[in-house]
Amino acid sequence: MSLIEEVSRYKSVAVVGMEKNTGKTECLNYVLRGCSRIGHTVGVTSIGIDGETCDQVTRTAKPEITLTAGTLFSTSEKFYHTRRLTAEIESLTAWQTALGRLVTARAVTTGKVILSGPVATGLLRDVIAELHTLGARTVLVDGALSRKSLASPAITDAMILATGAALSTNLPELVRQTRFVYDLLQLPTADIPNATQLARIEQGIWAITEDGTPVDLEIPSALLLQQQKERLYRHGHRIFVSGAVSDKILETLRMQPEANRTELIIKDFTRVFATPQAVRAYLQKGGRITVLHQPKLLAISINPWSPSGYTLHSDKLREALAEVINVPIVDVRQQSEEME
């Protein structure tokens, strides 16, 4: 089954870049073109901003986002006015973003657009639902693995991960970092009846009792976990961390006598900001990490080119990743050239 056929099977798919210039936008355009060719109606939005002609940080040229007629999209009011296509507005949100209200529209002609979507997970869910209501069979979310956004790309049903030489020009290091994210995507789903309730919790560290009830451990910050570690196991060995998981949290849990019975529950893989070494040490001690939501990884898109001008060999990069990762590895630029 081709990547486009695979994407068309899901209601929502995130295209997520591990780093700037790893080919995320090029992959998104590839999927948009492919869905248009097979007559599969899509909607598209972004976490943050994407589609600029020049990267605001690296000052390198970026591929623009191209939409075909019939594609639904949600972007900020400011960037809706800069679009280079004809569109019909479907809705306008009452709430404001930093770049104005959020506009949901349908492209009437083919053209370019800058996407700037919601920056909170709840709002992203609302936008996805609205695009489905308007007729999108699959909603594509342009995302990134970043501390800067409050919206998680892991709320979608499936995901494509973009990696490449911009992450590292050292092939073994690039493979190691990509494999780490792949491993996080394989974290098992927590066996818990009230996952939806837990997902709504935005702050704190909680214990999960045997019947699945969350109990606030009243530890206001992960920074205070070590000083208040006696509270950790008052209600069992399942600990839910609502925010980011750092080396400090994993180290504290690893050092406890109960470490080999501890299950650390997190919302999704994007909450892990710990190093591979810290994660490995905790797991080797017998601890477990589970997630409330596990998206399906459809493929890894590779970009052998780096902004520094260094280029890895596409086939060698694909082969090296394929040795340690069990999903399709795709060079979308190469496939696009072969299709033309």
- pLDDT at residue 52 above 70? no
C-alpha distances out from residue 218 to 222, 230, 234, Å: 11, 12, 12
Q: Where are the domains of the chain?
A: 3-186+295-339, 195-291
How do residues 265-312 score in pLDDT, each as one tens digit?
999 999 999 999 999 999 999 999 999 999 999 999 999 999 888 999
Contact yes or no for 188/294 (Cβ under 8 A) = yes
1-5, 150-154, 217-221, 249-253: the lowest-pLDDT one = 150-154
The CATH number given to 3-186+295-339 is: 3.40.50
The domain over range 195-291 is classified in CATH as 3.30.70: no
Which pLDDT value is given to residue 197?
A: 85
Which pLDDT value is given to residue 251?
A: 95
Question: How many whole angstroms separate alpha carbon 277 and alpha carbon 250?
Answer: 10
Which pLDDT value is given to residue 134?
A: 97
C-alpha distances out from residue 320 to 34, 95, 164, 173, 217, Å: 27, 46, 12, 11, 44
- pLDDT at residue 113 above 60? yes
Question: 3-186+295-339 with 195-291: one CATH topology?
Answer: no
- pLDDT at residue 121 above 70? yes
pLDDT category of residue 333 using cuts at 50, 70 and 90: confident
Name the percent of the chain lying above pLDDT 70.
93
- pLDDT at residue 231 above 90? no
Q: Is the dihedral of CA 160, 164, 168, 173 positive or negative?
A: positive
192-196, 245-249, 314-318: the lowest-pLDDT one = 192-196
pLDDT category of residue 71 using cuts at 50, 70 and 90: very high
Contact yes or no for 15/143 (Cβ under 8 A) = yes
Helix (H) or strand (E) holding 88: strand 87-97
How do residues 172-222 score in pLDDT, each as one tens digit?
999 999 999 999 999 999 998 888 888 888 888 999 998 889 999 988 777
Both tokens assigned to 149: 């956004």
Question: How many whole angstroms separate alpha carbon 7 and alpha carbon 266?
Answer: 26
More confident residue, 218 or 110: 110
- Residue 82 φ/ψ, nearest 5 degrees: -95, 0
Quote the strand ranges of 189-321, DSSP E.
Answer: 205-208, 214-216, 238-241, 263-266, 288-291, 296-303
Exposed / middle / buried, residue 317 (Cβ in 10 Å: 0-12, 13-18, 19+): buried
Contact yes or no for 20/55 (Cβ under 8 A) = yes
Helix (H) or strand (E) holding 83: none
Mean pLDDT of the chain: 90
